[in-house]
């Protein structure tokens, strides 16, 4: 097992890619701490992992709230004494809202969950990683963080920022045993669409104008396999990188 006895935190783990990553990590031997705002769904995933002889702990957390991210790490350390792997997966969409229609409220919400939350979790885990002389950070970004219009202005900015943060941390801490990488998925079958309501017509039309070129949508488990690679020694020389996983969509 590639992650035997490693302690991993996975945010947004009640569904979609986060759920698939948490389940896959547990199958690889990790002790997985799952977080999400949806407590009933989170409990179901924890129960599923335990039913398959995996080790898991569910902690309700809103990654946009500092007290929740601090508590998530503190409870992980209290339970398992350390953190080896941090997967920043939790994220929301932005209704395809273009900048002319963008409110401060929507901007703050999207940036808070997609960018500030991951930064705070990384910052909170960093003293643990530095003390241990090792640590793995995986940020689930998006091809929206590589290109200009796969969503609205806030989501696009949040994922570009997350990729920039990934590269900065990857290089700055490279000599201290810490690796930080990102995954940039294209279309994946998840429930992230439920984070949108009443999408902006103009913004959606512009953002989806290239969608016909998408070869296919991925299953969440296909992204989870990449996360296992990045979390394991198989990727020991991969750092500050962004792995695009979009079935060839952006190769057009």
Q: Please write the tens of the pLDDT for every residue from 51-102.
A: 999 999 999 999 999 999 999 999 999 999 999 999 999 999 999 999 999 9
Buried (b) or exposed (e) across 214-225, using 16+ Cβ within 10 A? beeebebebbbe
Q: Please write the tens of the pLDDT for every residue from 241-250.
A: 999 999 888 8
Q: Which of 80, 155, 173, 252 is catalytic?
A: 155
Concerning whether 155 is annotated as a catalytic residue, the answer is yes
Please give the CATH architecture assigned to the domain spanning 7-251.
3-Layer(aba) Sandwich (3.40)
Mean pLDDT lowest for which of 21-30, 92-101, 185-194? 185-194
Query: Could you give the CA distance from residue 76 to residue 56 in angstroms, rounded to a whole number?
Result: 11
**What's the pLDDT at 70?**
98
- Domain segments of the chain as ranges: 7-251
Contacts of 193-201 spanning 24+ positions with Cβ under 8 A = 193/93, 195/92, 195/93, 196/93, 196/94, 196/95, 196/96, 197/95, 198/95, 199/95, 199/96, 200/95, 200/96, 200/97, 200/98, 200/101, 200/152
Beta-carbon contacts of 82 under 8 Å, excluding residues fewer than 6 positions away, are 7, 128, 132
pTM over 0.85: yes
Q: Please write the tens of the pLDDT for every residue from 150-171.
A: 899 999 999 999 999 999 999 9
């Amino acid at each position: 097992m590639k992650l035997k006895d490693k302690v991993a935190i996975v945010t947004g783990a009640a569904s979609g890619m986060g759920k698939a990553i948490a389940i896959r990590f547990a199958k690889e031997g990790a002790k997985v701490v799952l977080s999400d705002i949806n407590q009933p769904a989170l409990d179901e995933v924890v129960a599923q992992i335990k039913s398959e002889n995996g080790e898991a702990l569910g902690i309700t957390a809103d990654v946009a709230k500092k007290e929740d991210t601090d508590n998530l790490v503190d409870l992980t350390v209290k339970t398992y004494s350390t953190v080896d792997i941090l997967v920043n997966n939790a994220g929301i969409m932005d209704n395809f809202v273009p900048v002319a229609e963008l409110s401060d409220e929507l901007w703050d919400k999207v940036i808070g969950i997609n960018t500030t939350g991951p930064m705070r979790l990384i910052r909170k885990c960093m003293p643990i990683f530095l003390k241990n002389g090792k640590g793995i950070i995986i940020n689930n970004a998006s091809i929206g963080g590589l290109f200009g219009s796969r969503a609205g202005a806030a989501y696009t900015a949040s994922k570009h920022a997350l990729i920039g943060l990934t590269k900065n941390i990857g290089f700055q801490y490279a000599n201290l045993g810490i690796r930080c990488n990102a995954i940039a998925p294209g279309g994946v079958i998840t429930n992230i669409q439920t984070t949108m309501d009443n999408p902006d017509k103009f913004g959606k039309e512009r953002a989806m104008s290239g969608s016909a070129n998408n070869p296919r949508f991925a299953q969440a488990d296909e992204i989870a396999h990449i996360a296992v690679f990045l979390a394991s020694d198989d990727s020991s020389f991969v750092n500050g990188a962004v792995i695009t996983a979009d079935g060839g969509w952006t190769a057009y």
